[in-house]
Amino acid sequence: MPMAPPLKSVATIRLRDLLLDERWLQGKINEDPTILGLGKNVTVIGRERIQPSRGRLDFLLWDPEKEMRYEVEVMLGRLDESHIIRTIEYWDIERQRFPSYEHRAVIVAEEVTARFFNVIRLLNRSIPIIALQLNAFTFEGGMGLQFVKVLDVLGEVEVDEDDGGGQISREVWEKKASADALAAMDSFIALAKETLGSVRVTYNKHHIALGAKGNNFCWFHPGKGTKHCHSRIRVDADVRDSMVEKLSETELYVRPFGERQITLKIARRDVQEHKDLLESLLLVAEEDAERI
């Protein structure tokens, strides 16, 4: 049996008691943003990023694997109302500036009291907030930092085809989405028509739905300033993983979503370049939609 390493006693302590401030903590995060525990591929793309409100966002982090941006606000001591408001404000500004990415608001504090934990937990139902509690500790010969995720975003919820926010016209989408994103969507719809025969396209406030003989099986979210169209396609759970694996062999952005959906980002040229594979995806999606 291998010998266990010697135990060392540790003592938790506030950073200010060590004469360390937020600037010091920001420096450590800037050196290695992975210490926050948000992902092994997270990098810093902005520090003290100036906002239109004249404030400064502590960190804008980027995970290229997830295509996720994190708006991070750091404070020492106890979490307070202004910190929560500021974090949400900066998250909202950044997601409007760059709508093609997914965004997460991240609050870091040394103490998250029960009162404010309940507040951000309630907000988490509509705003993707992550709360990290910082624990600093000293031990013989050094000190350590630990970031504990006390609140994470709610689990991904699959798209409800009835929750479109009400039908609107194509013209409304033409005003709020880029021409390239809509062209990519139109190319995919044309392929669906060619593959499945007649199809049904419904323009809703929150998404554009696609169906054929059965229920809707695809939901488009064309964004501003993008050349691709974000889409989610529902397939049978038994074939979802194999379809994701096949699609992953191409340069397409693809990942599983929920239990039965696939997230795809499709540009216009992708439809022709990967026509056979996308036809197979449409066939299994429609087959599943007819059974529901």
Main-chain phi, psi angles of 89, to 5 degrees: -60, -45
Name the nearest CA neighbour of 43 among 57, 56, 30.
30
For residue 154, the model assigns a pLDDT of 53
For residue 157, the model assigns a pLDDT of 43
- pLDDT tens-digit readout, 219-259: 998 887 778 898 999 999 888 889 989 998 888 888 887 77
Burial class (CB in 10 A: 0-12, 13-18, 19+), 230: buried
For residue 22, the model assigns a pLDDT of 93
How many Cα neighbours within 13 Å face the side chain of 246? 14
Residues 233, 234, 239: CA angle, nearest 5 degrees: 110
Q: Is 5 left (phi over 0), alpha (psi -120 to 50) or beta?
A: beta
For residue 156, the model assigns a pLDDT of 46
Sign of the Cα torsion 72, 75, 77, 78 reads negative
Q: Which residues of the chain have pLDDT under 70?
A: 1-2, 8-10, 65, 154-165, 292
Q: Which domains does the chain have, with CATH numbers?
A: 10-151 (3.40.1350.10), 170-291 (3.90.1150.20)
Q: For the CA atoms of the chain, what is the radius of gyration?
A: 23
Which two three-digit tokens encode residue 286? 């429609």
For residue 159, the model assigns a pLDDT of 46
Cα–Cα distance measured from residue 102 to residue 80, given in angstroms and rounded to the nearest whole number = 26
